[in-house]
Structure 1
Amino acid sequence: MFDRLPKVRVLEGFSAGTLPVDRLIAENLPTVLPGVARQWSLVQAGLESPQAAMAQLRASYNGRPVQYNWGEPATAGRPFYNDDFTALNCQVRRGTLDQVLDELASYLDDPAPPTYYMASLLLDYCLPALREGNDLGLERHGVSAPPSIWIGNRVTASCHYDAPNNIACCAVGRRRFTVFPPEQVHNLYPGPLQPTPGGQAVSVVDFDAPDLERFPRFAAAMEAGQTVVLEPGDAIFIPSLWWHHVKGLDPFTVLVNYWWSSMPEWIPTPMHALNMALWSIRDRPEHEKRAWRELFEYYVFGPAGLAGAHLPEQGRGELGPFDETAARRMRAALLSRLNR
């Protein structure tokens, strides 16, 4: 199935110091950046052996407790749901990184190991020394994006989206990324908003064995998909809200990623607005929903300055641009209204 998909576009010739960050954001397309992390010491250790990569992680670890997902061998590396979607098929455990690495090492030659997945762990929390020699340094490109690390075995992160922009660097082992534009939400069959295996809703389609009788629109999603297998040292840029399915292909895998928002920190995630709209709009009569759609088009999805353009600047209130002070006022007003 994946062999038939077009490949994610590739931009050659860049390094960590010359990343085309502005171009990536402006063009808003998934993009592979081959070899940008090839010189990382962790990448070089992983090319030597999984054990060498584990040794470097141990040497950089500060001993803080970590959280990870663990699943029986039957989960087959896919943190997901139970049969009725009321709970997840993996346990959330706490321990030390040394313990997790010991257990991963013991299963390197096992064709059906338990699932181990340490997800989105901030490097600065438990592996601060690793940033020396293993960092893209996005700050020099004007991007504030503290790196996170993902450690596991042949784990599948089911197809999902993230609100921030993302650069993901394949550090140890190979990973297959399959990406879809945001409009494919209609064909990807998202699961519950809560609980979720990774924070956002995920597609409930098993990409390794899609059931097209149950999920017929998934065929249309695949027509719009793109794929790539990243080698150690390769990176991929995934724009905000693009869906991506990520499969680890080797017995020990490590990924380092960088998330950042296009908006200042005082602008909240639109997920809050989506949750409020589900609560306050979705179940209204259709004629009311059509009217609310027009209001949203006018106030939210149309040109940013349109709704207040006919008013004097000092009288625009929430219809004018938000700065940090205006954002605080809006937050206080919303909290007051919700608490009534």
Structure 2
Amino acid sequence: MAEADPSIFAAMKAVPEREVRDEAALDALLKDAREPFLVRGLVKDWPLVQAGLESNNAARAYLVERARPVQFAISLGPPAQGGRMFYDDDMSMNFRMGKGKLAEIFAGFEKHEGQPDAPTAYLGSIDIKSHFDGVAEENPPPLGERNPRHSIWIGNATRVAAHSDFPDNLACCAVGKRRFTLFPPDQFRNLYLGPLDNTPAGRPISMVDFHAPDLDRFPRFAEALGHAQVANMEPGDALFVPSMWWHHVEGLSDFNVLVNYWWRDGAAWGGDPQVALNHAILALRDLPQADREIWRDLFDHYVFSHEPANHAHIPAGKRGVLDPLDAPAASRLRSFLLRMLNS
């Protein structure tokens, strides 16, 4: 894996560390949190963490023993890309996808472990509950009453370009070492995002190579670095990444496992804002300027400055989507949108 200029990360502000005694203390920190924080050793007692501290083979054996007999998706790239999951010169992905049983995949990890020219191997966002028996229960999320999505990320020394996610995220370093580089949501202009519809994993990514930033091509990235925070994670550490914070993620060891939890404090039946943005581009972006201004005002009225007074003149219970949404109303609205999109 290509080495980064250490001065880039050394100059960054460290993500604040917090001490947490129990789930109640973590819950108090998470309520209304809009800044990242790091908790050292939060999940150090997990069996998966303890297996990884014994050896990489012990961690792999722990997971293989609990893996269901299903196919696992894996991204594979040549050694020359230095572990960077990105685009190639024609903006196609610089990796190919494969599938296999976990034991077969891990045999490849073991074969190449420690080799400087090891190919890139990455299992991203694997749903734990559908791929493993017992792993979620034996390594429980410290999130109290929240009902998050459980995902596991497994790879060798890889680099995932800066991106943002809509839900809040608790990322737990289980095996190996990780480095997260984080930026506030408003730094998206300075990160030089790639396409919205041609992405490695569904979210737009920064085009800047953090290991060798080209400031002639990406001059505003220097401004982004002034807002960056870095978290160097050891096994057992947990990092809270607030919704829409940009994060560049590196696996720093020959074998790395991350377990993360995404959750929405709002209604789980809500739609994906990224989908709304993409449809707005289709429907609004190329309208004449005067028309766009009209629709900007309507969006502000109905969405961004939504106030009860805006629809108080309509009888209660007869306001359609202007009434507070619940699961049945959201389902009806989704069906209506699908009919409109397909008409």
Q: TM > 0.5 between the two?
A: yes
Partner of 2:125: 120
Partner of 1:257: 260
1:313 correspondence with 2:316: yes
CA RMSD of aligned residues (A): 1.6
User: Residue deviations 1:289-331, cap 9 Å, x none?
Assistant: 2222222111111144342234332342221211122222222
Partner of 1:34: 40
Write the distance in 1 (CA, Å) between the matches of 2:224 and 2:288.
30
Change (3 A) 1:310 1:10: farther
User: Residue deviations 1:85-143, cap 9 Å, x none?
Assistant: 1x1010000011111111111122112310000011111122222224312253xx221
Write the distance in 2 (CA, Å) between the matches of 1:39 and 1:152.
22
Write the distance in 1 (CA, Å) between the matches of 2:273 and 2:308.
19
Write the distance in 1 (CA, Å) between the matches of 2:289 and 2:80.
44
Q: Paired residue for 1:160, among 142, 158, 163?
A: 163
Change (3 A) 1:99 1:73: same
Q: Paired residue for 1:106, among 88, 106, 111?
A: 111
Q: Paired residue for 1:186, among 189, 211, 215?
A: 189
Write the distance in 1 (CA, Å) between the matches of 2:79 and 2:338.
45
Displacement of 1:283 in angstroms is 1.4
Contact 2:33 2:242 in 1 (8 A): no
Q: Paired residue for 1:130, among 135, 143, 148?
A: 135
Partner of 1:297, secondary structure, is helix
Write the distance in 2 (CA, Å) between the matches of 1:41 and 1:233.
10
Write the distance in 2 (CA, Å) between the matches of 1:220 and 1:127.
43
Q: What is the 5 A alignment of 1:258-277?
A: 258-277=261-280
Gaps of 5+ in 2: 1-7
Q: Paired residue for 2:180, among 177, 182, 185?
A: 177
Contact 1:307 1:319 in 2 (8 A): no
1:332 correspondence with 2:335: yes
Partner of 2:4: none
Partner of 1:11: 18
Write the distance in 2 (CA, Å) between the matches of 1:169 and 1:304.
39
Contact 1:25 1:239 in 2 (8 A): no
Partner of 2:196, secondary structure, is coil
Which amino acid counterpart does residue 256 of structure 1 have in structure 2? V
TM-score (norm 1): 0.94
Query: How many residue pairs get matched?
Result: 336
Partner of 1:128, secondary structure, is coil
Q: Paired residue for 1:291, among 290, 294, 303?
A: 294
- Misfit runs of 4+, over 4 Å: none
Write the distance in 1 (CA, Å) between the matches of 2:183 and 2:340.
38
Contact 2:20 2:26 in 1 (8 A): no
Which amino acid counterpart does residue 240 of structure 1 have in structure 2? S
Contact 1:168 1:256 in 2 (8 A): yes
Write the distance in 2 (CA, Å) between the matches of 1:304 and 1:96.
52
Which amino acid counterpart does residue 32 of structure 1 have in structure 2? L
TM-score (norm 2): 0.93
